[in-house]
């Protein structure tokens, strides 16, 4: 997968009903809500719907209602790389100028260190990541991702997980995500 394209930035807005509206620079809009099981339900302005889940080890899973699955990996600094080759950047997590600057230099300066997400995972691999994350959180630590409670956004800044939209799996369309997985937090990509 080549990650040289311009990242797709987004900002999260916490709404009065505790849901999150995620607005991408490519025109995509998602409305996100965290479920009681920690997963995030979303729907987009293009009519797509689905569920995002933080699996653990910075891996996000986006399942579209049509059954299509896209994985993402949090890269740090609000960046999420998607299995479709897109990269999303959460401007909300930095606030103001810093987010805009990082998004602007992201393709050139930050993309050299992109660790790609898996293209496919077996149910056993997903289960192992969930168990590892559960063990880590019971030990008092998190999974180390931007999502833990996953970018996810309980208060508007933690709606988590990448796990972030892009074109296709990300914030784009058909794959469509842009994981940090999440209801949309201002703190993580998968929110």
Give domain status of residue 153, yes or no: yes
What residue numbers bound the domain in which 93 lies?
8-160
Give domain status of residue 3, yes or no: no
Cα distances (angstroms) measured from residue 141 to each of 74, 99, 134, 137: 17, 27, 10, 5
Does the pLDDT of residue 131 top 90, yes or no?
yes
pLDDT for res 155: 36
Give domain status of residue 46, yes or no: yes
Are residues 19 and 148 in contact, defined by beta-carbon separation less than 8 angstroms?
A: no
Task: Count how many domains the chain has.
Answer: 1
Give domain status of residue 189, yes or no: no
At 67-125, the pLDDT tens digits run 999 999 998 888 899 998 899 999 876 655 555 565 566 544 545 578 899 999 999 99
Are residues 96 and 179 in contact, defined by beta-carbon separation less than 8 angstroms?
A: no
Does the pLDDT of residue 148 top 50, yes or no?
no
At 56-67, the pLDDT tens digits run 999 999 999 999
- For the segment 11-28, the average pLDDT, to the nearest whole number, is 97
Give domain status of residue 191, yes or no: no
Give domain status of residue 188, yes or no: no
| Of the ranges 21-35, 148-162, 163-177, the best mean pLDDT one | 21-35
Q: Are strands 69-76 and 79-82 parallel, antiparallel or unpaired?
A: antiparallel
- For the segment 44-55, the average pLDDT, to the nearest whole number, is 98
Give domain status of residue 147, yes or no: yes
CA distance 115 to 95: 24
Percentage of residues of the chain with pLDDT beyond 90? 49
| Cα Rg of the chain, angstroms | 14
Q: CB-based burial of residue 112 (10 Å sphere; 0-12 exposed, 13-18 middle, 19+ buried)?
A: exposed
pLDDT for res 26: 95
Give domain status of residue 172, yes or no: no
């Amino acid at each position: 997968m080549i990650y040289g394209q311009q990242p797709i930035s987004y900002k999260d807005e916490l709404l009065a009903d505790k849901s999150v509206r995620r607005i991408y620079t490519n025109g995509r809009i998602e409305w996100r809500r965290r479920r009681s099981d920690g997963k995030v339900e979303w729907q987009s302005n293009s009519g797509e719907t689905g569920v995002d889940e933080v699996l653990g080890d910075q891996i996000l899973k986006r399942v579209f209602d049509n059954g299509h699955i896209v994985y993402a990996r949090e890269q740090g600094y609000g960046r999420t790389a998607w299995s479709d080759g897109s990269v999303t950047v959460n401007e909300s997590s930095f606030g103001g100028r810093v987010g805009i600057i990082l998004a602007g230099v992201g393709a050139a300066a930050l993309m050299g260190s992109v660790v790609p997400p898996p293209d496919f995972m077996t149910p056993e691999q997903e289960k192992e990541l969930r168990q590892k994350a559960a063990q880590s959180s019971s030990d008092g630590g998190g999974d180390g991702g931007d999502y833990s409670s996953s970018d996810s956004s309980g208060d508007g800044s933690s709606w988590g997980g990448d796990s972030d939209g892009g074109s296709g799996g990300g914030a784009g369309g058909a794959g469509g995500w842009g994981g940090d997985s999440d209801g949309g937090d201002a703190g993580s990509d998968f929110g």
